Structure 1
Amino acid sequence: MTKSILFILILFFFFTYANSQQSQLYNEEHEILMKIKKHFQNPLFLSHWNSSKTSYHCSYPEITCTNDDSITSLSMINTNLTQTLPPFLCELKNLTYIDFQLNYIPNEFPTSLYNCSKLQHLDLSQNYFVGNIPNDIDKLANLQFLSLAANSFSGDIPMSIGNLKNLKRLELYQCLFNGTIPDEIGNLSNLETLLMFSYSMLPRTKLPSSFTKLKNLRIFDMHDSNLVGEIPETIGEMMALEDLDLSGNFLSGKIPNGLFILKNLSRLILYNNSLSGDIPDVVEAFELTTLDLSYNHLTGKIPDDFGNIKKLKYLALFTNRLSGKVPESIGNLPTLTDFIVFQNNLSGNLPQGFGKFSKLETFQIASNSFNGKLPQNLCYHGRLVGLTAYDNNLSGELPKSLGSCSSLQYLRLENNEFSGEIPNGLWTSMYLTTIRISENMFTGQLPDRLARNLSELAVSHNRFSGTIPNGVSSWKKLVKFNASNNFFNGSIPSELASLPQLETLLLDQNQLTGQIPTDITSWKSLVTLNLSHNQLSGKIPDAICRLPSLSVLDLSENKISGRIPPQLSLRLTNLNLSSNYLIGRIPSDFENLAYESSFLNNSGLCVDKLVLNLALCNSGTARRRRGDSSMSKALVVILVVVASLTVFLALFLSISFYRKRKRLMKRTWKLTSFQRLSFTKSNIVSSMSEHNIIGSGGFGSVYRVAVEGLGYVAVKKIRGNSRKLDQKLVDSFLAEVEILSKIRHNNIVKLMCCISSDDSLLLVYEYHEHQSLDRWLHKKSKSPAVSGIVNGNIIDWPKRLHIAIGAAQGLCYMHNDCSPPIVHRDVKTSNILLDSQFNAKVADFGLARILVKPEELATMSAVAGTFGYIAPEYAQTIRVNEKIDAYSFGVVLLELTTGKEANHGDEYSSLAEWAWRHIQIGTNIEELLDDDAMEPTNLEEMCSIFKLGVMCTSTLPASRPSMKEVLKVLTGCKDPLANAEKIVDIYDSAPLLKNLKWEKQLEFSA
């Protein structure tokens, strides 16, 4: 009995002691949490961390505890932390899990973490860490997960990482490593995931052969990492490999035979390398769902064994040199959704099974030599989104099934031998945005109704007939209408002039009669109007002079009579009124040699100066003299009236300003901060006035507001009417806030906060005293401080190159380092801001959209952007991706090298087309460069960057380099020894400059 009591007492003692120890540990850890909160300066998101001992910290969402209430996990993700990690963090002795990703944590890697002896999971990704990863990082011996990705770590990746034997996942992507990749990583025998992609600063290096010893590795991603040489044959020994991405490198040689016998491989991406030779014939990787070998130099045939990969969904082989027929078995694959083989040398008839056995979504076979008919069941399952088959030898009628394909979004069949009529239902397919069927032998008439979302209709060089239907008024979203060279007759319906979004109208080379519609005020977006080679009569409408965007006007070869409207705009870059019945004096602004071929074969026209090859007018000078006296009297009256109105207007504006300011202060404002602020919302709102406006854009004005501690901030105000904002402006505002509050990069403008009320939206950015690039490049400011002059000198080429590199780095981050990737959609010189050191900051994300899936393209519902910078496919709202930004950035490069503006052109409509034309006709590039920036020492460099700009503005998105490739060329220019090699490599890797004439034929045929 005594022993039992003694035993119970001992148990009670130990139980009491244990509880006491547990309670003591809990209290100690609670105190540490309060120290952590204080270290981070008591941020708002930790307001629930209560110092009271009654606060149960194991319930905090940032904390995970064991059953005995000891803290094992600490997680603060995307919480805007800007301080270093607390050096006492590891006083929480049982920590196994630390996650501080997506913050602004600065300084070098915190070696104080070595004191976390039990640490298994460490995630410090997407912060502002700098310096080298320490060589003794292997002191964290228990780590199973390590992510230091998307920081500014540089130097070598330390060999000691290879000693972390327990690692299962290693993420070192998107850093600034500029040293070596250690072979020792191949010693991580337990590693299952290795992410080491996007190393733009890494010297060119071979893929370490030791990596193929990672027998447990399932996911291996090293895309865009400057890899060269061949893929090791031993990669076929990595039997656990499921996902391999080596795209965007400089790999060469053949694809190893062993790669296609990996039994577990489900995703293989070797896109955009320099791989050559035949694709291996023996294919046993039957688990493959995604196979992308595009944009290489592969030759030979598509292996028959591809038809045995029954799980294959995505097959991309475009832009290679493949030849022969497509194996019949590929058309019978049961899961195939995307078949993309454009720009090859493939030929023969297409397998008729395509679409019947699988839910086909994308079928892209353009720029090959296919003949015969299209497969009849492409939309059998009603899932087909895109069909591009242009530049082939295909013939016959279109499949009837396309008429009921309600999922179809874009159709491109230009330059084939198709005939017959278009299936009725195809014209009105619900989601269709693009029909391009030019250069075929189609017949029939245009329908009254078109798809409600159709933005481009190109039917030129066919055999369509009849009238242009009056129902054209329902084509509200049409942006481009090209019906040139057909057999259309009758008059141009007035309903056609009611289309508000129309930018291009080409009706030349038809049999149209009657007059040009006079009520064309809705054509505010019209850039190109070509009605030549018809039988039109009547006068040139005066309203044509008031079209604000018109750049190209061709009315030649008609029966138009009367006088040329004197207000005809000099904004026209291409004017042709030849071969008509026009009479009278040519407006004096056109009396120069630039228009010498614009007025030919009009016997009734005359000029005051003998410049153009036309007759002189006789009495014009005398009439002008008689009018001088009356004009002088009228001028005095006008000046008196104007002076009176000016005084009245000044008084009115002063009263309005004070009333407006009073209303502003009465509103209820809400401030959403994205960082620590030294100002309040009232500081901003009360300081916005007309005198500190520094710019304006499509959505409102930009103010420079003085704030304590920062000097100035820039405030972008989204304007609306007095009661409520337009929903499109609100959507744009929310898009910019959503994007800028998440992304962090030195070359992307920093959003400090947003301020909103019921009828106003404000974005507050850091202020950049040098403002936007266009002000410097094109001298758009009257201020000496912003006039293209730096310390008495024009902006030189090194500064321009520095700006280009900075902007490219910002776009690369958006495209490659953000998940999901972000497309800006409005890259231009006015959206590139410059700080005091001329570092570039990409700005204005009001048009940006986040892509839903990185591997997919997103369909945009409306056209946005700025004329001169818009990629061809985006102007027609085809599905868009990052390549539209590459196009716009190419225009920026052309501006930097030529000094000309984006809408510059002679007989063509933009700087990009002007540059393409000069390249095509063989103009010496040196003659096109900006004299203000050109020096003998940088001439070759400027020529190379000009060519790069031309490459970026290729008509075909697939022919444009990615922003990662663009950055490689730009940064290569800083290294004279590497420059030539990098330029040659990227030009050799893309067939663009070898096919310039072919490219422009493709564009003009559209």
Structure 2
Amino acid sequence: MSYNSTNSGLVVESKTSPKEHPSSTRKTLFMCLEYLDLSLNYLVGTLLDDIKQLSSKLKYLNLAGNNFTGDIPAAIRSLTGLVSLQLVANLFNGSFPPEIGNLSNLGELALANNGFEPQYIPSSFTKLKKLRNLWMTETNLIGEIPEGIGNISALELVDLSENGLSGRIPDGFFLLKNLTILHLYINRLSGSIPCTVEALHLRVIDLSNNTLTGTIPDDFGKLTSLTHLALFCNQLSGEVPVSICRLPLLENIGLWSNNLSGVLPPDFGRYSKLKEFQVPLNQFHGELPKYLCANKELIGVIAFDNKLTGELPGSLGSCDSLEIVRVHDNQLSGKIPDGLWTSLNLTTLMISNNLFSGQLPDKVSSQLSLLELMNNQFSGPIPAGISSWERMKVLKASNNLFSGVIPQEFTALPSLSTVLLDGNQLSGHLPSIIISWKSLTTLNLSRNQLSGEIPASLGVLPGLLYLDLSGNDFSGQIPPEIGNLRLSSLNLSSNKLSGRIPYEFENTAFDSSFLNNPRLCSNIPSLHLRSCRGETRKSNKLSSHVIAAVSSIAAVTFLVAGICTIYICRRYRKRSNLSDSTWKLTSFQQLNFTEADILSSLIDGNLIGKEGSGRVYRIPINHSGEYVAVKRIWDNLNLDQKLEKEFLAEVKILGTIRHSNIVKLLCCISGGNSKLLVYEYMENCSLDRWIHRTKRPYSSNSISVSVHHVILDWPKRLQIAIGAAHGLCYMHYHCSPPIIHRDVKSSNILLDSEFNAKIADFGLARLLIKRGEPSTTSVVAGSFGYMAPEYARTRRVSEKIDVYSFGVILLELVTGREAHNGDETSSLAEWAWRHFPEGKPIVEALDEDINEPQYFEEINSVFKLGLMCTNPLPWSRPAMNDILQILLRLQALGERINANEYDVAPLLQNSES
């Protein structure tokens, strides 16, 4: 008989006679069970009583994906008929008993992803002679691997990854004739890899992220079934055996971050359909293998930070499957193969710090978004055809020999975020119309021969943070529009600029921004410019009577304002019992307000929200309608330590990172009985208020407009999802160390006036010590409905917990439901996982505001992506960069999808794989 379970209910199949008494039927059922599957039901409790009711006839027991706690009881030894035991992804936090070794019929043992206490692998496990699959990833194993496990001849899969195992790899592993998959990555294993290999059926070997030494065994060249070889992040040395490159099924090889040397074997890619070739951060010399893309399936060539010489292989010039090439920091030379520039799927080309030459082409791959070629010998003009580089986001071409003018066509690229063209021989005027650069954050054109006036249109670029035009021949005045920018860095030194600098830059933050411009002036001594006093004013002279009248009015106004200010400040001091001297302001941006502007406006009339740790205010900072948002965190004797940590975390993170999809922290003010974080103000507040009807409309004192009659349509929702994904990708992949937010939710996604999304509230964020290496927190922090199940269970922090939370936001955007209110008994993610397998039309789940047929395919794909992101098993969730690419493709291909000319399913299938 069998006893099966699905998320929607339990089904019992039994041969028990219906005439039996009900009380005895249940007992008979459990005593006769052969197959029991209760996986993915979120069951709670311990197993002791349940195990005692089961029979030795039971062959298959699957309790994966529940919330069972405590130990695995020793009573499990009575289940002598067990063939498969699956306890993956629960909350077990005790030990697993050595009695499991008595289950002599066991063929599959899966204990992965639990919070067991640190323990050794029981030596009794070596008695499981019929064991085929041993899956114990993330089970807190320590000590050495018992040598006897290598003697279990039936083993086909061994996964002991992401534990604390130490010592040597048992020789017996590579002698197992049936072994096909061996995962020992992310441990503390040391010593050399066993040299004798007889496990000739091995398809996957992953020994990465250990401290292994010695050489790569020559016998690996005998593994004719091998498809994946991962040995990266070890201390291996010597050369790569030539025989490995001739393996007929080899698809992926990862050898980075070792001490390997010698010449790379020339036949890589010649005899197999090679897809990923990753050998960076070693000591290889000589040329790259010339057959890398001989079979036209190569996706990535990553070989940076070696001593490679010669030209790029010609096979890369006809490799349409290629997506990424990273060969920077070598000694490569010659021209880039013509076909490589226009490879159909190429997204990333990083070839900096080499000796490459040639010119930029008119056309590049339509997918190319990142091009880095700094410190080479490229020459010639920037081609007018650059206007076709529509996907380009990052262009870094510093320190080459580019010459000629910057064409107007260059300014037509709407996705550009970073442009580095410093240290070239560019000349002429800057294009005056650059309004297409709305995504630009960094522009460095220093050390060229550019001339003319600085275009005023630079001042309307909304995201520009870093501007460097130094070392050129710019003349004329600095456009006052430049003062509108919220720059973190400005360098206009060593030009021929004249006149007074914009008042926004007259502070010590820009004390080296204007050097070596003899005709510039300022009245701020720290800027090291001549004084503007005595300059002839261009405005008409006023009569002495008018001047006197104006002066009198100004004096009276100043006196009244002073009295009012003193009155307000005294009221504030009385309320807070503080003096100004107790407050400390730390600035992270250029500020156009003072500490007093903030402190005097912390009144109930400006209150827009309350949080567990304090209040949020909307505070005007001038008469032109500008506002900032101020988060006030209260000190409390009972919560002081916790809030102090949150405050320091947010200041530390937001004060050092810059991204257009992460809320900008302007300054922090601390003192007295509270701490203040001052942010840029987001006009459209948080996402949850737009997609959850229970939170509409805004209160009258929160913002100046109401969204009660405003609908957030699907294009805006997709735009918001892409913006939030950009922010998380920046945190996960571009920050060092990576940042895990830990509290991604719709109320922490803020929207500006154009509905651009920015991630906020980093009080729970955590810096990872090492990318890809999970860490553990002392307490679980986050929000119900958004919290990944493995985080709640084990407190282990990885990028995948943010992925889970982001998946919930995708489901919110599609359904309009709240994360903690999928139905009466479960979260939105749980509800969605039940809804989708039941085969219900997705249209039944849609928010009525986006139930529009022309967007149905896009919405359906995002719903599926949300399911993938909220998979209960973290390793089954896609990475944030993959999620972002899927969303971007959905947006770009939306018109063709709606016209049924394009099937988006392969995008999701590729991500799943």
- TM above 0.5, yes or no, is yes
Is 2:108 aligned against 1:193? yes
How far did 1:803 drift? Answer: 2.5
How far did 1:721 drift? Answer: 9.8
| Equivalent AA in structure 1 for residue 369 of structure 2 | S
How far did 1:540 drift? Answer: 1.4
How far did 1:864 drift? Answer: 7.3
Looking at structure 1, the residues matched to 377 and 689 of structure 2 have their Cα atoms a distance apart, in angstroms, of: 47
Partner of 1:901: none
Describe how 1:718-867 pairs up with structure 2 within 5 A.
725-726=714-715, 729=718, 774=761, 802-803=780-781, 812=791, 824=803, 850=868, 854=876, 859=882, 862=885
Looking at structure 2, the residues matched to 430 and 537 of structure 1 have their Cα atoms a distance apart, in angstroms, of: 38
Partner of 1:412: 326
Equivalent position SS for 1:545: helix
- 1:947-984: per-residue Cα shift (whole Å, max 9, x none)? xxxxxxxxxxxxxxxxxxxxxxxxxxxxxxxxxxxxxx
Partner of 2:310: 396
Looking at structure 2, the residues matched to 334 and 402 of structure 1 have their Cα atoms a distance apart, in angstroms, of: 20
Contact 1:814 1:822 in 2 (8 A): no
Describe how 1:508-527 pairs up with structure 2 within 5 A.
508-527=422-441
How far did 1:625 drift? Answer: 10
Looking at structure 1, the residues matched to 77 and 403 of structure 2 have their Cα atoms a distance apart, in angstroms, of: 76
Describe how 1:883-962 pairs up with structure 2 within 5 A.
none
Is 2:460 aligned against 1:554? no
Describe how 1:355-434 pairs up with structure 2 within 5 A.
355-434=269-348
How far did 1:254 drift? Answer: 0.4
Looking at structure 2, the residues matched to 842 and 532 of structure 1 have their Cα atoms a distance apart, in angstroms, of: 52
| Equivalent AA in structure 1 for residue 86 of structure 2 | E
Looking at structure 2, the residues matched to 730 and 602 of structure 1 have their Cα atoms a distance apart, in angstroms, of: 43
Looking at structure 2, the residues matched to 554 and 863 of structure 1 have their Cα atoms a distance apart, in angstroms, of: 34
Aligned residue among 375, 388, 391 for 1:474? 388
TM-align CA RMSD: 4.5
Equivalent position SS for 1:443: strand
| Equivalent AA in structure 2 for residue 188 of structure 1 | L
Describe how 1:458-857 pairs up with structure 2 within 5 A.
458-568=372-482, 569-618=484-533, 696=685, 701-703=690-692, 705=694, 725-726=714-715, 729=718, 774=761, 802-803=780-781, 812=791, 824=803, 850=868, 854=876
Looking at structure 2, the residues matched to 815 and 410 of structure 1 have their Cα atoms a distance apart, in angstroms, of: 35
How far did 1:297 drift? Answer: 0.1
Is 2:46 aligned against 1:147? no
How far did 1:166 drift? Answer: 1.2
How far did 1:78 drift? Answer: 2.8
Looking at structure 2, the residues matched to 348 and 178 of structure 1 have their Cα atoms a distance apart, in angstroms, of: 47
| Equivalent AA in structure 1 for residue 6 of structure 2 | I
When residues 825 and 189 of structure 1 are mapped into structure 2, their CA distance, relative to the original with a 3 A threshold, is closer
Aligned residue among 120, 136, 150 for 1:222? 136
Partner of 2:894: none
Looking at structure 1, the residues matched to 709 and 867 of structure 2 have their Cα atoms a distance apart, in angstroms, of: 22
How far did 1:168 drift? Answer: 1.1
How far did 1:327 drift? Answer: 0.3
Looking at structure 2, the residues matched to 346 and 496 of structure 1 have their Cα atoms a distance apart, in angstroms, of: 42
When residues 73 and 217 of structure 1 are mapped into structure 2, their CA distance, relative to the original with a 3 A threshold, is closer
When residues 271 and 139 of structure 1 are mapped into structure 2, their CA distance, relative to the original with a 3 A threshold, is same
| Equivalent AA in structure 2 for residue 275 of structure 1 | L
**Structure 2 unmatched runs, 5+:** 19-24, 555-681, 697-705, 726-741, 747-758, 766-775, 813-817, 821-826, 833-861, 889-906
Equivalent position SS for 2:32: coil
Equivalent position SS for 1:205: coil
Looking at structure 2, the residues matched to 620 and 112 of structure 1 have their Cα atoms a distance apart, in angstroms, of: 99
Equivalent position SS for 1:605: strand
Equivalent position SS for 2:499: strand
Aligned residue among 210, 213, 216 for 1:299? 213
Contact 2:7 2:41 in 1 (8 A): no
Partner of 1:277: 191
Looking at structure 2, the residues matched to 562 and 303 of structure 1 have their Cα atoms a distance apart, in angstroms, of: 68
How far did 1:169 drift? Answer: 1.0
Partner of 1:352: 266
Contact 2:35 2:58 in 1 (8 A): yes
Looking at structure 1, the residues matched to 134 and 803 of structure 2 have their Cα atoms a distance apart, in angstroms, of: 29
Partner of 1:781: none
How far did 1:318 drift? Answer: 0.3
Equivalent position SS for 2:134: strand
Contact 2:440 2:461 in 1 (8 A): yes
Equivalent position SS for 2:298: coil
- 1:530-578: per-residue Cα shift (whole Å, max 9, x none)? 0000000111111111111111111100011111122323521111111
- 1:716-763: per-residue Cα shift (whole Å, max 9, x none)? x99999897439739969x99xxxxxxxxxx99999xxxxxxxxxxxx
Looking at structure 2, the residues matched to 257 and 396 of structure 1 have their Cα atoms a distance apart, in angstroms, of: 40
Looking at structure 2, the residues matched to 748 and 775 of structure 1 have their Cα atoms a distance apart, in angstroms, of: 8
When residues 732 and 589 of structure 1 are mapped into structure 2, their CA distance, relative to the original with a 3 A threshold, is closer
| Equivalent AA in structure 1 for residue 761 of structure 2 | D
- 1:194-213: per-residue Cα shift (whole Å, max 9, x none)? 110112x3211111111121
| Equivalent AA in structure 2 for residue 532 of structure 1 | S
How far did 1:596 drift? Answer: 0.6
- 1:127-184: per-residue Cα shift (whole Å, max 9, x none)? 2322211256143112111112222211111011121111111111111112111001
**Structure 1 unmatched runs, 5+:** 1-71, 96-110, 634-692, 708-716, 737-746, 752-771, 779-797, 836-840, 866-879, 885-1006
Percent identity between matched residues is: 45
Looking at structure 2, the residues matched to 296 and 842 of structure 1 have their Cα atoms a distance apart, in angstroms, of: 39
- 1:265-314: per-residue Cα shift (whole Å, max 9, x none)? 00000010000000001111110000000000000000000001111000
Is 2:80 aligned against 1:165? yes
Describe how 1:989-1000 pairs up with structure 2 within 5 A.
none
Aligned residue among 298, 316, 331 for 2:245? 331
- 1:790-832: per-residue Cα shift (whole Å, max 9, x none)? xxxxxxxx99965379988557589999xx9897299799999
| Equivalent AA in structure 1 for residue 501 of structure 2 | I
Contact 2:383 2:407 in 1 (8 A): yes
When residues 860 and 323 of structure 1 are mapped into structure 2, their CA distance, relative to the original with a 3 A threshold, is same
Looking at structure 1, the residues matched to 357 and 26 of structure 2 have their Cα atoms a distance apart, in angstroms, of: 77
Contact 1:749 1:842 in 2 (8 A): no
Aligned residue among 56, 78, 100 for 2:7? 78
When residues 158 and 266 of structure 1 are mapped into structure 2, their CA distance, relative to the original with a 3 A threshold, is same
Equivalent position SS for 1:536: strand
When residues 862 and 128 of structure 1 are mapped into structure 2, their CA distance, relative to the original with a 3 A threshold, is closer
When residues 457 and 810 of structure 1 are mapped into structure 2, their CA distance, relative to the original with a 3 A threshold, is farther
Equivalent position SS for 1:402: helix
Partner of 1:239: 153
Partner of 2:754: none
Equivalent position SS for 2:190: strand
Contact 2:144 2:165 in 1 (8 A): yes
Contact 1:516 1:541 in 2 (8 A): yes
Contact 1:570 1:589 in 2 (8 A): no
Is 2:99 aligned against 1:184? yes
Contact 2:2 2:33 in 1 (8 A): no
| Equivalent AA in structure 1 for residue 486 of structure 2 | R
